[in-house]
Structure formats: C-alpha cells, structure tokens
Homo-oligomer: A and B are copies of this chain.
Amino acid sequence: FERQQEARLMYLKITDIPEGEPDPAVWKVNFPRQYEAYLKTMRTSEMIQYSRWGRYGGSEAFSKLDKHPNYVRLFAGHPFSVDYREETGHMFTLRDMLASQRLGDQKPGACMACKSSHVPNFVRQYGAETLYKTPVKELVEQHGFKHPVSCADCHNAQTMELQITRVTFAEAMSRRGIDLSTATRQEMRSYVCAQCHSEYYFKGKDRYLTFPWDKGLSVDSIAAYYDAYGFSDWTHAESKAPMVKIQHPEFELWSTGLHARANVSCADCHMPYRSEGGIKVTDHWIRTPLANLTNACLTCHRQSEQEMRERVLQMQDRTYSLLTRAEHAIISAIDGVKAALAAGATDADLKEARRLHRQAQVRWDFISAENSMGFHSSQEAARMLGDAIDYARQAELEAYKVLTRRGMRTQRSSYPINDRNNP
C-alpha cells in the first residue's frame, strides 16, 4: 500500500495543462522547479570551462570539421562535410537545426521530428507521414513551430507520467516484438530518450523516418540490416563506395553496456535526483554528468568524484586512441583506392575494396557519432573500432592487390601514423 501512496505525485495544481501543450511556460505554473532547471540547458559552457570536467563532451557547438580536418574527407560528398557540430542543450534543439547549413533551407519535415515540442500535437492531428513530407520552412512559417524539445515531448499533461510521443520508436520496438504498454517506469526513463537519441534513416522517397533495429541493436546487426536492405545515404566522393551515415546511437550503444544490464537508465545519470530542502526532484538540467558527478554517480558508486572522473576519462581516452587509429586507417584506404583508380583499376576490380570501406566506416562512425566517446559501453566500443581498423586496412590491401595482380607500379607511401602508441 506504500506504493500507491507513493506513486501518486504530490504537487500544487494551479492550472490545467492541455495535453501536448508545446509551451513550457504554461507547465511552469505547476512545476517551477523543473522549468527553471530546464532553462539551464541554455547555458553553453565554453570548452575552456568544460575542460575542467571532461575532454569529449560539453555544450559548446564548435565545428567538428575544424577540430578533425579528416572528417571533411571521410564524409566527402555528404552534407555532414559541410556543417557538423558538437551538440548542445535541449533549449537549442530547434534553433541549431534551423541554423545548420546541412540541407540549407531544403530541410524535410522529418528533420523536425526530434527538434520541437510541437510535434506531438501536429502528429496527433495530421499523422506522421504529413510531418515528414511538409518542409521545415513550412512547419515554422505556416504551423508556427517555435518551441524546442520540451515538457510535452516526454510527459502526459494530466498524470505527468512519461509517455512515448514519437511513432518511429513505437513502430521499431513493436517490430522487435516489444510491447511498450508493459514498460516499467524505470524502462521509460530510457525509452523517452531513445525516441531521439538513436540511429535513424529516411525510408523510401517519402522519407519515412525509421529506426534500423529489425535485426538487433548491435552495430553488426544494424550494418547487416542496411546491407540486406541495400541502403546507402550517399556515394563517397573519393572512393565511390556506397556509404551509410550513423547518427547519435546513444540508445543502441548503451543497450550493449553494463549499466543497461544493471538496469541503470539514461535519466539516472543525466537527470539525477537533487534534494531541494529535503524534497527530491528530478534535475531537468540535462547535461554531461561529469559536471554533476556527486548526484549522477556517487549515490551508487561510493568512490570520490575525482576517482569517478578519472575512470570515465581513462575509458574515453582509450576509445579515442582507437578512434584516431581507425580514422587514419580509413583515410589510408581511401588513398589506396584512389591510387588504384589512378593506376587504371576498374569498378569491378574495386568492388571488394569499396565494400570493406563501407563496413569500416559504419563501425568507426558508430563511435564517432555516438556522444559518450565510448563510455556508454566501453569494451563494445573498443571491439567495433578494432573491427573497423581491420576492414579499413583490408580495403587498402585490396587496392594494392589489384595493382600487384596487374603488376602495376605506384610510388605513394601510405598515410603517416602519428599516434602515441606507435614506438
């Protein structure tokens, strides 16, 4: 009987909030604490400030293309080679999407799916297909989309319980035979995030937003899904390989990790409880846990803040060293294919090399695009990067074998490896 008494949420109900209300200011009236914390997601800590806590995250929308010049070549021919930034807080979801030079002002409505609290109502009214087809421009100018990710994206306005507002996630889960109506509250604390923090693609010419989970959530299952479906986002401008761009697979990587096994949810670390005057509230300032280790980690882990930070950084540094290795290996592979092309190799000659390039980059990108630099599943991240390196070097080898089989001559030496591990 304690449970019921507890399950009921006690708060001062001042106003009735209509279901799907996009404007957080309306919710504020009943829930000032959560609203004020939510506003803090606007705080952008510059790298200098963030670097007191970590190395790979933070809230500054710096350009990844400036930080990693190789990315321009790795994504050659894809919009991500034009504009690609570090992500920042929820308050900026809409603004940043609109501002991005990716697809300029030609963005399809599907881009809005994870960027605004107007989505739930719009989808209820017109259905998802319509949303995906309607240009972003039109959604803003004619349907008045103006709020970023906010209360309505995660909450039922009457009960305040968490709820799924994105059909994409519901569809993908049911294809996997998972019934969301039986989800526990603890599971919901990750599912609400998984609606957006997941790898996606646009299916067919109607750009139907879809999660590639039918074969499973591991990188290998997802790659196999795309291969079977014969899908590619773009053709690589240099190697001419058919490529897949991976985007923020936080949910997928987390699922393979120990915290998921231990039933630890996204919200446990990114929205830990705070006690305000002896009253517990969920911290709605969603951000890097490294800036909030005491609440995010120390209730479960009774080590020091210092120790927890060092653990995270050690795991991330290891991931980063492999990520860099894989990056160099893929660049070498691209150079190899180009050398073979220059020496007169045919498409038939290079079919295998290109297949391997695709396999390598999907795996590299899975960790590059994922936002925890491997922390969410440290060994699995290292494992797939090892696979990526193997595929990339084999792609380069295939290119050379083409040359040697023909006894062709080339002078180029391979990409210099500048890496702390290299003696």
Which residues of A pack against B, CB within 8 Å? 220, 223-224, 227, 258, 261-262, 303, 307, 311, 315, 318-319, 321-322, 325-326, 329, 359, 374, 378-383, 385-387, 389-390, 393-394, 396-397, 400-401, 403-411, 413-414, 417, 421, 423
Contact = CB atoms under 8 A, between A and B. Distances in A.
B383 A322 contact: yes
27 contacts: A224-B423, A227-B423, A258-B311, A262-B303, A318-B380, A322-B383, A325-B386, A329-B390, A378-B379, A379-B382, A385-B386, A386-B386, A386-B389, A389-B389, A394-B414, A394-B417, A397-B397, A400-B401, A400-B404, A401-B413, A401-B414, A403-B404, A404-B404, A404-B409, A405-B409, A405-B410, A407-B408
Contact of A379 (B379, B400, B401): B379
Instruction: Across the A-B interface, give the 8 residue pairs with the lowest CB-CB distance, nearest first.
Output: A393-B393, A382-B382, A386-B386, A407-B409, A400-B400, A378-B379, A379-B379, A322-B386
Contact of A397 (B319, B321, B385, B393): B393
A110 B358 CA distance: 51
Contacts of A315: 379
A220 B421 contact: yes
B401 A408 contact: no
A386 to B, nearest CB: 4
A321 B407 CA distance: 35
A100 B419 CA distance: 41
How many copies are assembled?
2
Contact of A405 (B303, B321, B411): B411
Contacts of A407: 407-409
Contact of A383 (B321, B380, B411): B321
Chain A contact surface mostly: helix
Given A404-B410, A413-B401, A318 B390 contact: no
B393 A311 contact: no
Contact of A318 (B383, B400, B411): B383
A386 B393 contact: no
Given A220-B423, A329-B390, 11 more contacts: A325-B387, A329-B393, A378-B378, A379-B382, A382-B383, A386-B389, A390-B417, A393-B397, A400-B404, A401-B413, A404-B404
A383 B316 CA distance: 11
A387 B386 CA distance: 8
A223 B423 contact: yes
A261 B423 contact: no
Contacts of A417: 390, 394
Q: Which of A224, A374, A390 has the largest count of B CB atoms less than 10 A from its CB?
A: A390
